[in-house]
Structure 1
Amino acid sequence: MRIDTRCSQAGTRRDPVTGAISLPIHHATTYAHPGLGSSTGFDYTRTSNPTRLALEETIAALHGGCRGFAFASGMAAIDAISRLFRPGDHLVLSDDLYGGTYRLFERLFRPLGLETTYVNTSDLRAVAKQIRPHTRALFVETPTNPTLKIADLRGLARLAHERGAWLIVDNTFMTPYLQRPLELGADIVVESATKYLGGHNDVLAGTIVVKSEALADSLAFIQNSIGAVLGPQDAWLLLRGIKTLHVRMDRHEGNARALAEWLKAHPRVSRVYYPGLPDHPGHAVHRAQASGWGGMIAFEVANNKWVPPILAHLRVITFAESLGGTESLITYPAVQTHADVPPDVRQRLGVTDSLLRLSVGLEHVEDLIQDLDQALALAASAQVEESARKVTC
């Protein structure tokens, strides 16, 4: 069955009693036992819930994994993965990593003895040099957040498995519609389902899908023990979002490609990051492992003093954190998503004071272009006026 059909059918045929097409929301926290020593398969909703289970089975099927898990947020999902490791274990991570993930590993797990090394995971040789005898996993984003670096997942899987380590992939930007890391050799795929999977900026969630039953058993124990599970109402919202995932991702990508090409030609934009552009360093690798380019763009303006007026003058695109919704959102990573990353590290990675991240929504692309164009023009004009005032003074 093709993934478009799987998405459209998410959660259906789960209620044989009524035949309801829309999956019921099971708010029950506990379930009656048919008798001593027997169970319906549901005992306590922290362990399993019928609505959440439908979501978990759906996401596992979309990724081609053996089991899926739904958590209260993307960070809760990454926290659960982190608990697979022990003090003294070593992980190699993408250096251009979402700031919240960096914060989790550096502020919470490093003090508990988990060792981390950050490297450009687009460079297989650089990754290989950082693998140690006690390296237990490679944790990568591809494309990365926010500068959209591309990692060769097949190559990284070979590297990891040769050394007895796992490959863990944060697939948030791509979703299973465009990229399925487990099919490329990864062992675990994690996503902030708040983003494209939900797709409407109305649900906070995280998902994990694993390849092996042994990993599934370990994560099921962690999920049940910690209890940071997704509630049934949110699970239902997420299933509803997945039903249109394929349609939305095609529109996100179409708009993003047009915007990236327009930004690249704009005189007030100094650099554009988008894997769909032929001159992107990871263009060929991404094309070989994904079926599309996604809806995320990052770009640098020619003068970092233009950033505040650009954000102030946008009328269609909203200045807000997060991504992946129907509405276009623009983010200033240096002070928002990556504020916890030290300034010198941010600069080295390209998360500069002139970098903006754009989550391209489903609006008409000409409206988005016009909005950016007028904001860039007003920002430049304001800078000229300020310079003239200084000369006059």
Structure 2
Amino acid sequence: MDLTPIHPKVTPIYQTSVFKFNSLAELETYYTSPDHGGMYGYSRSEHPNSDELVAEVARLEGASGGGVATGAGLAGLLAAVLAVCQTGDHVLCPAELYGGSVVLLSNELSRLGIETSYVPLAQLYDVASHRRPNTKLVLAEVLSNPLLTVLDGPRLAQACQAEGILLLIDSSFTSPMLTQPLSWGADMVWHSATKYLAGHSDVTAGIVVARDPAIAKNLRRLATNLGLMLAPLESWLAVRGLKTLRLRMRQHSENAMTLARFLADNPAVSQVFYPGLESHPGHDLAAHQLLGGLYGGMLSIRLADDSAAAVDAFIQKTKLFPLAPSLAGVSSSCSYPAATSHRGLTEAQRAQLGITPGVLRLSVGIEEVADLLVDLEHALGQG
């Protein structure tokens, strides 16, 4: 069937594992041309849906180098680290880091001879004091998980540049609508596209984009050789999600701000972690650094009864914040960091990071905010 005259408004799903060649000459062009001669061969290496997704995220991030989409967020982190590090190299991170990232770096990549060390974020800016001769990469989050500590991105980027060390930023909590780390001087931006980029809790994906085309080329090579490439259907769904990203981030942020103010005045809550609140220690930095006057849809609370029992009581009573291990869907959810993202840490380690038994993370969706308020009031024992 000749589909040449067909011009769909939406890119079709190229649900195929391979593409056909018409001749040995075409096959040779595919393997010898830098861009494969505009052709596709094997979806493990590239396909139109993944290319569209990466191109759009790269455009939003200002990443001239391009990047890669992977089958999960952590696969994106794996690709990013291996694109610039090898056996004997060292990665420097803040102690306030997503637990899944810590497990990948410290448990898995350590077996390949890549070392990782952690220092409190407040000390990380002094890169010169914490670097080693073999330090190749610094990884940091825009907003830490789960207590929403705000990163001074430009300051960290300047410190890394002064030491000749690459900087990778995890922007999963903010998306390009709130932060564009390459404009700070970062070298790569990593997203768990499972979160805000796809946005509907129906895709598992990762995306890494880079400033330098050479790094982007390494990312693509690794995705091909390690089988990390995101499949066509998931790529298509993520592209669909991106089309409403700006609208969703605005509503996520507006709802979260309203809920944060409500929770800050609620006697069942002893502390609210949300950078949009003037009481948050990183508020001024967030106001200066985040885009559009928005602070995102993620917030955490410490219950006045700082216990797992109090958290469980909340979970049993809420209707609109179901317990789920991920975040950033259009529907709200909650997560218990002590038993999910940071369960691999000891109780003492969690306490040192401020993750006490009564800490609960809320992913605020785009529902009617009045409904969310009623549900929270009930779940906290006042409705």
How far the C-alpha of 1:266 sits from its partner, in A, is 0.7
The match for 2:276 is 276
Once the two structures are superposed, the pairs formed by residues 197-236 of structure 1 within 5 Å of their partners are 197-236=197-236
CA RMSD of aligned residues (A): 1.6
Q: Which AA in structure 2 matches 1:182?
A: L
Q: Which AA in structure 2 matches 1:230?
A: L
Q: Which AA in structure 2 matches 1:180?
A: Q
How far the C-alpha of 1:112 sits from its partner, in A, is 2.6
Is contact 1:65–1:210 with CA below 8 Å preserved after alignment?
Answer: yes
Percentage of pairs with the same residue: 36
How far the C-alpha of 1:120 sits from its partner, in A, is 2.4
The match for 1:386 is none
SS at match of 1:83: helix
User: Could you tell me which of 299, 321, 325 is aligned with 1:321?
Assistant: 325
Q: Over residues 173-214 of structure 1, what are the superposed CA-to-partner deviations in whole Å (9 max), with x where a residue is unaligned?
A: 000111110111110000000111111100110000100011
How far the C-alpha of 1:378 sits from its partner, in A, is 6.7
Q: Which AA in structure 1 matches 2:297?
A: G
- Is structure 2 residue 382 aligned with structure 1 residue 373? no
Aligned partners of 1:17, 1:189: CA distance in 2, in Å? 38
How far the C-alpha of 1:281 sits from its partner, in A, is 1.4
Aligned partners of 2:67, 2:213: CA distance in 1, in Å? 11
The match for 1:82 is 81
The match for 1:351 is 355
Per the alignment, do residues 78 and 124 of structure 1 end up closer, same or farther by CA in structure 2, a change over 3 Å counting? closer
How far the C-alpha of 1:17 sits from its partner, in A, is 4.1
The match for 1:51 is 49
Unpaired runs of at least 5, structure 1: 1-14, 380-393
Q: Over residues 36-59 of structure 1, what are the superposed CA-to-partner deviations in whole Å (9 max), with x where a residue is unaligned?
A: 223452111111101111111111
Is contact 1:122–1:149 with CA below 8 Å preserved after alignment?
Answer: no
- Is structure 2 residue 73 aligned with structure 1 residue 69? no
Greater mean deviation of Cα atoms: 160-169 or 276-285: 276-285
User: Could you tell me which of 26, 35, 38 is aligned with 2:29?
Assistant: 38
Per the alignment, do residues 326 and 103 of structure 1 end up closer, same or farther by CA in structure 2, a change over 3 Å counting? same
Aligned partners of 1:278, 1:344: CA distance in 2, in Å? 30
Per the alignment, do residues 248 and 277 of structure 1 end up closer, same or farther by CA in structure 2, a change over 3 Å counting? same
Q: Which AA in structure 1 matches 2:295?
A: W
Is contact 2:127–2:160 with CA below 8 Å preserved after alignment?
Answer: no
Per the alignment, do residues 309 and 288 of structure 1 end up closer, same or farther by CA in structure 2, a change over 3 Å counting? same
The match for 2:190 is 190
The match for 1:310 is 314
- Is structure 2 residue 173 aligned with structure 1 residue 173? yes
How far the C-alpha of 1:333 sits from its partner, in A, is 0.5
How far the C-alpha of 1:121 sits from its partner, in A, is 2.4
The match for 2:299 is 297
Unpaired runs of at least 5, structure 2: 31-37
Per the alignment, do residues 153 and 311 of structure 1 end up closer, same or farther by CA in structure 2, a change over 3 Å counting? same
Per the alignment, do residues 290 and 122 of structure 1 end up closer, same or farther by CA in structure 2, a change over 3 Å counting? farther
Q: Over residues 246-271 of structure 1, what are the superposed CA-to-partner deviations in whole Å (9 max), with x where a residue is unaligned?
A: 11110000000000011111111111
- When normalised by structure 2's length, the TM-score is 0.92
Aligned partners of 1:76, 1:302: CA distance in 2, in Å? 38
- When normalised by structure 1's length, the TM-score is 0.89
Aligned partners of 1:126, 1:300: CA distance in 2, in Å? 30
Greater mean deviation of Cα atoms: 116-125 or 52-61: 116-125
The match for 1:389 is none
Is contact 2:127–2:163 with CA below 8 Å preserved after alignment?
Answer: no
Aligned partners of 2:268, 2:358: CA distance in 1, in Å? 11
The match for 2:9 is 21
Q: Over residues 228-261 of structure 1, what are the superposed CA-to-partner deviations in whole Å (9 max), with x where a residue is unaligned?
A: 1111011110011000001111000000000001
User: Could you tell me which of 339, 344, 354 is aligned with 1:340?
Assistant: 344
The match for 1:8 is none
Aligned partners of 2:5, 2:359: CA distance in 1, in Å? 54
The match for 2:34 is none
Q: Which AA in structure 1 matches 2:88?
A: G
* Displacement over 3 Å in runs of 4+: 122-128
Aligned partners of 2:346, 2:78: CA distance in 1, in Å? 22
